[in-house]
A and B are shown apart, each in its own frame.
Chain A
Amino acid sequence: MKNFFNNSEDHDNKEISKKVKQWVKLYFGLPEVGCVVLVSELQCADEGCPDVETVISILAQPEVKVYKIGKPLIYVRVRDIETLSKQYLITQASTESK
């Protein structure tokens, strides 16, 4: 469960958030300009969802893509982003081949 009243985690979260954005841009091959990446931590009440999950939103043109990682931001590692990006790239390739 998230500790709402302990701000000591905030600084760590900010640092990891910046890193995650860099990893996303790198592994997803996103352009530096015209594409915004958001990194958020959400508590989801849906059955089967973890208490806290990390949501990555890629605001590319023309659409927004949203990815979830089932753990708090502080535990997100580069391999998580790499895994996501593989799915993304496969989807992209199949879309382009159609």
Chain B
Amino acid sequence: METKNTIPVTVLTGFLGSGKTTLLNRILSENHGKKIAVIENEFGEVGVDNELVIGADEEIFEMNNGCICCTVRGDLIRILDQLMKRKDKLDYIIVETTGMANPAPVAQTFWVDDEMRERFSLDAIITVVDTKHVWHHINNSSECQEQIAFADVILLNKIDLVSEQELIKLEQKIKSMNSQAKIYKTKDANIDLNNILNVKAFDLDAKVELNPNFLVEEVPFEWCGIFDFNNEEYQLKMDEGPDPTIDVVFVKLNANTDSDIEKAKKETVKIFSEEYKEVKAENFLNSNRTHNRLLIEDKKQVFYFKPSKKGFYAVFTQHGPDEFNMTFESSKIKGNDADLLIGAKKHQSVHSFDNLKLANLNLATPIKEIEYAHSHEHDNAVTSVGIEDESTLSIQKVNDWISWLLQNKGTDIYRMKGILNISGNDERFVFQGVHMLFDAKADRAWRADEKRRNQLVFIGKNLDREELTKGFKKCIVKNQIKFV
């Protein structure tokens, strides 16, 4: 997006009571010497002398019948057109949306027309979150999810009203939905304005870098257990769960240390995006670095595995063990133990294995359990999907793939962003999109000291990690698949 001589525009979203108006007043009352126009849909208590506050009636129109990807804000276009005719030049525009607004039509307004792009540059979407009350909406309000998913910057506001543990849980949840947004924790929306204004989040001419932890923060698994397995046969038992399958990956650890577990976690994120191996009940799964997809067709399903070496293993599962009544045990004890296990499970809360130890069975209980934010949900959840890979891509194939994605998945992909390593080019290619609107260009040259790699992030609902990964892999030149 062009930025030369354009007026930057910040879109401010957040539910009613989240602290949007407090933030807005903070921006306006700061001694920055800039002429700021505020376009707001709901009149709050904004009103600072010498600032221009314009009320707007949300007028959304569709350029393509029924498609959210092609909706823009007519009222905004009219107001911006009027603002351009003023004699005094504006330095900045802030658009405050209603609490229940989907940010997409506002963002798209600045992309759909060349003249709009020449005059204005969408700087960033800022979402203010009420940390105390957001849990009432985050799982069931599409507007709340969209506001988080579209954001470049998220202010976790009112942190004085929640415990540190609640804050960590919320941060994890938000990162699983949007791995790219910068998150700041604030009280009374008190934030350094440099963090929210002139962010240049949509500017492909600015330094395009993805959050280096983007793969780790949107993990596709919910649970990890650290086990000390022997070189013998084990059984993984489970009942039917919310899905007909569950993905499981075992990684042998060198040691039971936090750094080793972290390394295994990163590796597993990549293994989860590789081809899976379907495993039916009563069969053996692979107990080291393989993407196993277990088919759960009935109750009391048993899968076998035999670690090749004794030692510590990290077992990552797509869902929490409680959802499938999952247990690990040595095959040494046979007979009616399965029934005893189920009985023992019934008397305990969720998936703590502690009580099972009391059952005095030959259970393999985890030494340590780690829960991850529920990035994988069972319905139309908003998630991030990241791809990182060092292969070289065909520009034509990438173009075909992106074109297909925009046409067929544009409604579900809220935002996408990436850096590409294109065959025959010494320059990075950068891109980003909002729904079906897409912008790409050749960026700076790859530095001699940096690894050429592709990094892509998709944020949206119903995102299919496998499908996206498969589509990406089809763009690789010479069929070389080399995951980092």
Contacts and interface: CB of A to CB of B under 8 A. Distances in A.
B190 to A, nearest CB: 38
A43 interface: yes
B466 interface: no
B112 A44 contact: no
Interface residues of A, number: 26
The secondary structure that dominates the A interface is mixed
A57 B63 contact: yes
B437 to A, nearest CB: 9
A10 to B, nearest CB: 8
Q: Name the residue among B116, B118, B399 with the largest chain A CB count within 10 angstroms.
A: B399
Interface residues of B, number: 36
Interface string B419-457: 000100000010100001010111000000000000000
B249 interface: no
A22 to B, nearest CB: 12
Interface in B395-426: 395, 398-400, 402-403, 406-408, 410, 422
Given A43-B436, A57-B63, A64-B61, A38 B116 contact: yes
Contact of A55 (B59, B64, B118): B64
B46 interface: no
A66 B245 CA distance: 46
A4 B402 contact: yes
A17 B115 contact: yes
A2 B431 CA distance: 15
B114 A14 contact: yes
A45 B431 contact: no
Contacts, number: 76
Given A59-B78, A64-B61, A42 B70 contact: yes
B114 A5 contact: no
Given A5-B395, A5-B440, A66-B62, A39 B113 contact: yes
Nearest to A34: B78
Contact of A42 (B63, B440, B441): B63
Interface string B57-75: 0010111100100101010
Interface in B359-406: 395, 398-400, 402-403, 406
A4 B114 contact: no
A4 B438 contact: yes
A91 interface: no
Contacts of B77: 36, 38, 59
A78 B81 CA distance: 25
A64 B74 contact: yes
Interface string A47-58: 000010001010
Contacts of A55: 63-64, 70
Interface of A: 1-5, 7, 13-14, 17-18, 21, 36, 38-40, 42-46, 51, 55, 57, 59, 64, 66
10 contacts: A5-B395, A5-B431, A17-B113, A17-B114, A36-B81, A40-B113, A43-B407, A45-B410, A57-B61, A57-B72
Interface of B: 59, 61-64, 67, 70, 72, 74, 77-78, 81, 112-116, 118, 395, 398-400, 402-403, 406-408, 410, 422, 429, 431, 436, 438, 440-442
